[in-house]
Amino acid sequence: MKLKVCGMKYNTADVAILQPNYLGFIFYGKSPRNFESAIPELPKGIKKVGVFVEAPIQTILDKVNYYSLDVIQLHGKESAKYTKDLLRVLIDSAIKIPEIIKVFSIKDNFDFSQLRSYKDLVDYYLFDTKGKLPGGNGYTFNWDVLKDYPSTKPYFLSGGIGLNELEKIKKFKKSPASKYCYAVDVNSQFEIEPGLKNIEELEKFKHELNK
């Protein structure tokens, strides 16, 4: 399973030394992890993810260009039409098209029919915990819901995942529900404060994740 560390803000270079597969930078003014500074040079192989919440398409294009983002994460209620329009603008801009992750929030159940209209528009789904905030709520959803996952599209598992979830993840990896689980996404459970990551705990988590 690959690892994405999201909500980067203060100690990006230190986290990058751990070589996660993805680093997420949140471009959402209402978030305490809103990113407005420079991204340091990252080791080869780490993909830069820009996280957006119902942002104007031009804003996304500007951030993709400025930060050379490899991935766009749509973390709000972006419609399939919005996503299609975004793709068209990206194609017309003649830049390398970033991968696209579309986020869906889950609590105790989920209507997987929502995925159909995004099937040919995005590269990955991401399942997060439904809460007051679009991400960073600090608790997990019921992963049993994913037993009914109807797609073959790879997905990211997110929502309140920390060291305490390692055994749960190992158990989940042995279940049929994990067949298309491509990556684990972590954020608030590895923070000293919003945007400042606990390097020691992240290192331990990464070491244990694929044991």
Q: Give the β-pairing of 155-157 and 181-186.
A: parallel
Question: Does the pLDDT of residue 53 top 90, yes or no?
Answer: yes
Cα gap 30→126, rounded to integer Å:
21
3-state class (DSSP) for residue 4: strand
pLDDT band at 135 (very low <50, low <70, confident <90, very high): low
pLDDT per residue over 11-44, tens digit each?
999 999 999 999 999 999 999 999 999 999 999 9
Tallying the residues shown for the chain, one arrives at: 211
pLDDT the model gives residue 132: 60
Q: Give the pTM.
A: 0.93
Is residue 125 within 8 A of residue 106, CB to CB? The reply is: no
Question: Does the pLDDT of residue 65 top 70, yes or no?
Answer: yes
pLDDT the model gives residue 129: 87
Is residue 52 within 8 A of residue 83, CB to CB? The reply is: no
Domains of the chain: 2-209 (3.20.20.70)
Question: Does the pLDDT of residue 138 top 70, yes or no?
Answer: no
pLDDT the model gives residue 64: 96
